Amino acid sequence: MEETGVIFDIKKFAIHDGPGIRTTVFLKGCPLYCWWCHNPESQSFKLQKIQSKESDLKTSSNFKKEIGRIVSVNDVISEILKDRIFYEESGGGATFSGGEPLSQPNFLRLLLKECKKEGIHTALDTCGYGPMEELKEIVKYVDLFLYDLKFYDSMNHEKYTGVSNKTIFKNLEMLVDLKKEIFIRIPIIPTINDMDDEIINLAEYILGLKHIQKIDLLPYHKIGKDKYFRLRMLNKMENIPEPTKDQMEKIRTKFESFGFNISIGG
């Protein structure tokens, strides 16, 4: 029987998920629950319903939309192949994101393998949390890792994401040993992970890997705010502001002082 998986979106013509023009496939389900997650609908592994934006709570209208669908490897690959011409012209390809794609290891491996068979460039957008053995199984099919690091401090990582960062660091070090191409992505969240010592510790750790040139700083934004309400999920970020341009520039300068190539916003 053909392998299936659960996705919650396919985004065409994506330009921030790796080089060139890409198709980004969002796999549903994540073992973390980051306070600032702007895709809270990505966290559950189950199909869900969300209150529609069009529905008005003041009236009797209470229309709900389905989130997530079960799809086969062929369904996804045929969607990706429709835009092959754009990948060829722009140096783009397919990106697998989530949720956490490593949480559907068989489905992910088959998707990546099919892309490589078709000569499509592949990127994996991952928080790095998953069994190393499963990560090793897919490494050869991934051209570029977009690897999220959220904290150097393990206790804070656990407090704000639900898991320790030890596995995430070990998996990253394994990819570095294999000399894979890796862009680090760091969400910047005021009062949570933007403190000087946290930034410096993280920068020193990344520098010590002696392999990473590019870091994307991703400013926290409140775009997902209304989704928490519509999913009836608790939003712990009500009182946390978005970082200002000035704050982001100061953090950029700190990372640049370590010699990194920094971009803001991916």
Q: Of 120 and 172, which CB lies nearer to ligand SF4 in the complex structure?
A: 172
Q: Of 42 and 171, which CB lies nearer to ligand SF4 in the complex structure?
A: 42
Residue 88 makes CB contacts below 8 A (sequence gap 6+) with none
Q: What percent of the residues of the chain are helix, what percent strand, and what percent coil, each to the nearest 5? A: 35, 25, 40
Q: Of 122 and 161, which CB lies nearer to ligand SF4 in the complex structure?
A: 161
Q: Of 45 and 205, which CB lies nearer to ligand SF4 in the complex structure?
A: 45
Q: Of 109 and 157, which CB lies nearer to ligand SF4 in the complex structure?
A: 157
Please give the Cα distance from 192 to 188 (Å, whole number): 8
Report DSSP state, residue 27.
Answer: E
Nearest to 32, CA basis, from 90, 101, 81, 92: 101
As measured in angstroms, the least distance from the Cβ of 100 to ligand SF4 is 5
As measured in angstroms, the least distance from the Cβ of 223 to ligand SF4 is 12
Q: Of 98 and 219, which CB lies nearer to ligand SF4 in the complex structure?
A: 98
As measured in angstroms, the least distance from the Cβ of 44 to ligand SF4 is 10
| Interaxial angle between packed helices 245-256 and 196-208, expressed in degrees from 0 to 180 and rounded to the nearest 10 | 40
| Interaxial angle between packed helices 105-117 and 73-81, expressed in degrees from 0 to 180 and rounded to the nearest 10 | 40
Please give the Cα distance from 28 to 41 (Å, whole number): 8
As measured in angstroms, the least distance from the Cβ of 9 to ligand SF4 is 12
As measured in angstroms, the least distance from the Cβ of 90 to ligand SF4 is 26
Question: In 10 A of CB 177, how many CB atoms?
Answer: 10
**Residue 99 tokens, joined:** 């949720």
State the residues that interact with ligand SF4 by CB under 6 A: 30, 32-34, 37, 39, 42-43, 98-100, 127
As measured in angstroms, the least distance from the Cβ of 101 to ligand SF4 is 10
